[in-house]
Structure 1
Amino acid sequence: MTTIELEHWAPTVEVTAAEMAIAGAAIQWRHLAEQAADLVRPEDFYTNAGVVYGAAVRLAEDGKPVDPAAVLRQLAATGDLARVGGVYVASLIGHACGAGSIGYHAGTIAVDAMRRRLNVASEQIRNLTVPGQFDPSHVDHARKLLEEATRAHIGGATAPTVGELLDDVLDGLERGTDQADRVLTGYADLDSMVTIRPGQLIIVAARPGVGKSVMGIDILRKLCVRRRQPGLYVSLEMSHADVVHRLLAAEARVSLNRFQNRTLEDDDWARIGQVRDRILDAPLVIDDAPEAGLSHIRSRLRGMQRTTGCDLVVVDYLQLMKPGSGGRKYESRQLEVAEFARGLKLIAREFNVPLIAAAQLNRGPESRADKRPAMSDLRESGAIEADADIVMLLHRPDMYEPEGERAGEIDVIVDKQRQGPRGTVPLGFQGHYGRITDLTKRWTPTPAGAR
């Protein structure tokens, strides 16, 4: 299942036997698939037994019957049967373990998965120590890699008590290490108000053409190009070439229209040449698969975990997401979008990474005198705001008053923040460059109880 081979990477015979034992049991009995799912995840497997096991777990989670024939249909629907092979699936039946052995074999798999993650993390940390490239700030990144690699992923593990957590939390507050994993947007005004951390789902919503894609790409530009932190951009409406055009326009300050119309002049090429190497070496992954769904994003992040890691994910945009092949069918689009929002939140938690999802608003703001959006305008699902840790709504006054005194500005309305204040942060909007800038150090708090 893995695409990388490091020294001492492959597991022992005992581990592969445990994987076959778990998968063999899961494809025959739903209650064993459910029992195993609480202890070990498909991505913890090394062999193709994990693909088969994942199909059985998906059937169980969907409330469907689990048996070898159903698993074969599920694998065929997701396109995995050709890779795994029906003969291999059938062979797993003879290796199945009983209910009493599930915990033992799951523990064997989970421990070896942790070993492999630690193997990858150690290689990444070694790369951070290359002479001439090492920076003291890499120590925090190395610590984060180790923490992620050794974090227990077994669902049945004992949850800590508040007493076990208290000293670590207080120690982090005292030493300031609780801020080490904070991800900055790159806008000083906004960062003074909003705190983005791993595991959070952040919604950036707006009407079409206001600037949600501009903000998503610009935040990643500041993170990956300027601060050299790894990020992932999942584009469901733009090609990778369009995204690169926007990066170049913003970084080189060249009119985006000249990229689109192929009318670049000598001075533009000179500016592009000055920023080329900076963008070339940026640890930014651009995924423009038009049918990207939750499983696709998970797969992409698993690959990044084995190499560079990922400090921020941006999905553009939520309502364009589609269920994967063989995915669950929903009674309504509202339920489907709600499931996507919940799934993105779980991905953020699972991979311990902040995830920004752009979302589209309905026409509600158009009917208001001030045209300002509200959370209730989130299109197709009110469940989006329930799963989000932070909701930021974008509003550009000059879309309604082109010659007004606030031309060239964009308001970021922080309408929800679980661990912080609500308010409005005005920023500069340079649409011709595809970028957003700071104005002044000011933001307006939202009065308590106001909407």
Structure 2
Amino acid sequence: MNDTLCNHPLELRVIGTAFRNSAAAESYVLDHRVLPEHFTIDAHRTLWGVIAERIEARADLDDIVLVDLLERRPDLLVGSVDLDTVFATIQAATEQADPDPSAEHARVLRDLAARRRLAGALDHAMRHVGQLDRPIDDTITALTEATYGSALVHRTPQIRTVADAFDDALRRWENPGEQLGYTLGFHRLDEIMSLAPGTMTVIGARPSVGKSLFAQHVISNVVHKHAVDAVLVSMEMSERELMDRIVAGEARVSARWLARARKPRGDDRRAEWERVLDVGNDEAMRRFGITDTADLAIVDIEALARRYRAQNPDFKLLAVDYLGLIRKADSKQAPVHALDDISRRLKVLAIDMDMAVVVLVQLNRNSETERRPPRISDLRDSGAIEQHADNVLLLHADHPSIGDDTTQPIAASQVIVGKNRSGPPGRIVHLDFDSTVPRFIDQAPAPPVGRAYFENVPLPGGQR
């Protein structure tokens, strides 16, 4: 083991301090979560395992009690250590005891343990590099998982009483904008739900119904209205395709024309071209991040999000297009289990980073074969997606292809709210799709705010 990743004197000092001061032992075990695996010598691990067990059981702890316990319970000995070595270690530790516990000592022990785990994981992963019969993508993913997972330092869950948390909650209640999260940009839909930090919203649709365009509209609304940073991770479209669609939507011009456009001469389409140039000067577009990196694994997306947050503290919305294209960590893993794991980790990412996560999902063919609007049960391959999601939106269009601007200029579309953790599910919000731009728009004229906005659909058990 690399000697620079060990600090035996510090380990002895912490053990001795715990023996001499019961309050210090409680602080190390309960507050700072110092664990046996944070120590490097079997005798140290043995002693700390017994100390932690006694503290958690609220039992007496001193060196005499410890010696008696180990003589009666040799099963507590770790590795090949013997009692004589443990007893000698107790004497050495008590001689180096500090009068009080040190949060810095606990931090150093945890930090060194994390570095040792990282070194071991990298060594293990490097041995797989030479296995030529293993797919290179699996090897790269395993290496990334080892690096990312092993580098995570143990975090202690914090428990607060309702009284302690009340002031924070009161500030949210007094600030409705903060409480409700980010709007989606469609006033009828915004009356029902929002994209709150810590939540995961799933947008599901069959191919060519417009889920990517819908997500781009939502991100544009968030960066303009809420002035926060957002990132779209697209594994389906190239940066060129993304730019054609995003800029066309912002400038209200045809994406097909823009893809073939040349700088106009004279007055030919001059106004449209000026709107395109205005998009490049829009400060909000500096908050709209895109990446077209294909074949990403979930660990790559987690690392991308954390790096971007470190560089951009206002990064509050992540959209992934789409779930089925995220590469499995193990190529032999069953698709259902892989999607379960990926959707769970995206939800954890939303909570851990206190951000809104939007995930696009392709629905199965049942709605097409049965000639009906989509249902939440049409989520492809995994019921866990519904379980992990806070909100599920299902897009439906009666026209053949929402991405084809040869269809009728204005076509009706529906957003079915299949799940809504903060409000009523089962509502249908009617939108129009302008295929000449292309973009989704609220149906006009807009009726007054209220239940007239929405159409109820039957819920399981006959609820409304």
Give TM class, smaller chain. 0.5 to 0.7
**Matched-pair contact (CA < 8 Å) for 1:231–1:285:** yes
**Matched-pair contact (CA < 8 Å) for 2:235–2:325:** yes
- For residues 294-343 of structure 1, give each alpha carbon's deviation from its aligned partner in whole angstroms, at most 9, with x where no partner exists: 222222222222222312111000001103xxx33544111111111111
Query: What's the offset of the Cα at 1:224?
Result: 2.2
Match of 2:296 in 1: 292
Greater C-alpha Rg: 2
Q: 1:279 to 1:50 in 2, by over 3 A?
A: farther
**Whole-Å Cα distance in 1 between the matches of residues 143 and 40 of structure 2?**
17
Of stretches 332-341 and 312-321 in structure 1, the one that deviates more from structure 2 is 332-341
Match of 1:214 in 2: 213
**Whole-Å Cα distance in 2 between the matches of residues 206 and 52 of structure 1?**
45
**Whole-Å Cα distance in 1 between the matches of residues 393 and 119 of structure 2?**
36
Query: Which of 415, 418, 432 lines up with 2:418 in the alignment?
Result: 415
Q: 1:170 to 1:279 in 2, by over 3 A?
A: closer
Match of 1:95 in 2: none
**Whole-Å Cα distance in 1 between the matches of residues 393 and 157 of structure 2?**
35
Amino acid in structure 2 at the alignment position of 1:445: N
Q: 1:291 to 1:170 in 2, by over 3 A?
A: same
SS at match of 1:413: strand
Amino acid in structure 2 at the alignment position of 1:349: I
Match of 2:360 in 1: 358
Query: What's the offset of the Cα at 1:389?
Result: 0.5
1:425-440 correspondence to structure 2 within 5 Å: 425-439=429-443, 440=446
**Whole-Å Cα distance in 2 between the matches of residues 444 and 226 of structure 1?**
27
Query: What's the offset of the Cα at 1:264?
Result: 6.7
**Matched-pair contact (CA < 8 Å) for 1:27–1:53:** no
**Matched-pair contact (CA < 8 Å) for 1:75–1:81:** no
1:170-319 correspondence to structure 2 within 5 Å: 170=170, 172-173=172-173, 175-176=174-175, 179-180=178-179, 182-225=181-224, 227-262=226-261, 265=264, 266-267=268-269, 268-278=272-282, 281-309=285-313, 310-319=315-324
**Whole-Å Cα distance in 1 between the matches of residues 210 and 327 of structure 2?**
23
**Matched-pair contact (CA < 8 Å) for 2:398–2:413:** yes
Match of 2:454 in 1: 443
TM-score between both structures, scaled by the size of structure 2: 0.63
1:366-445 correspondence to structure 2 within 5 Å: 366-369=368-371, 371-399=372-400, 408-422=411-425, 423-439=427-443, 440-441=446-447, 442-445=453-456
**Matched-pair contact (CA < 8 Å) for 1:199–1:350:** yes
Unaligned stretches of 5+ residues in structure 1: 1-13, 36-43, 60-67, 86-105, 111-153
Q: 1:260 to 1:159 in 2, by over 3 A?
A: same
**Whole-Å Cα distance in 2 between the matches of residues 277 and 353 of structure 1?**
27
**Whole-Å Cα distance in 1 between the matches of residues 39 and 302 of structure 2?**
22
**Whole-Å Cα distance in 1 between the matches of residues 258 and 457 of structure 2?**
40
Of stretches 410-419 and 292-301 in structure 1, the one that deviates more from structure 2 is 292-301
How many residues align? The count is: 344
Query: What's the offset of the Cα at 1:168?
Result: 4.0
Of stretches 297-306 and 352-361 in structure 1, the one that deviates more from structure 2 is 297-306
SS at match of 2:306: helix
Q: 1:404 to 1:320 in 2, by over 3 A?
A: closer
Amino acid in structure 1 at the alignment position of 2:454: W
Q: 1:278 to 1:171 in 2, by over 3 A?
A: closer
**Whole-Å Cα distance in 1 between the matches of residues 171 and 398 of structure 2?**
45
**Whole-Å Cα distance in 2 between the matches of residues 433 and 51 of structure 1?**
53
Match of 1:130 in 2: none
Query: What's the offset of the Cα at 1:185?
Result: 0.8
**Whole-Å Cα distance in 1 between the matches of residues 253 and 6 of structure 2?**
54
Amino acid in structure 2 at the alignment position of 1:211: G
- For residues 101-137 of structure 1, give each alpha carbon's deviation from its aligned partner in whole angstroms, at most 9, with x where no partner exists: xxxxx9xx97xxxxxxxxxxxxxxxxxxxxxxxxxxx
**Whole-Å Cα distance in 1 between the matches of residues 260 and 40 of structure 2?**
58
Q: 1:438 to 1:28 in 2, by over 3 A?
A: farther
Match of 1:128 in 2: none
Unaligned stretches of 5+ residues in structure 2: 12-33, 50-107, 131-138, 448-452
Amino acid in structure 2 at the alignment position of 1:444: E
- For residues 25-59 of structure 1, give each alpha carbon's deviation from its aligned partner in whole angstroms, at most 9, with x where no partner exists: 67989xx9xx9xxxxxxxx99x9996764576xx7
Amino acid in structure 2 at the alignment position of 1:412: V
- For residues 209-242 of structure 1, give each alpha carbon's deviation from its aligned partner in whole angstroms, at most 9, with x where no partner exists: 0010001111112222565320011000111121
1:105-124 correspondence to structure 2 within 5 Å: none
Q: 1:16 to 1:394 in 2, by over 3 A?
A: farther
Q: 1:163 to 1:406 in 2, by over 3 A?
A: farther
**Matched-pair contact (CA < 8 Å) for 2:254–2:436:** yes
TM-score between both structures, scaled by the size of structure 1: 0.65
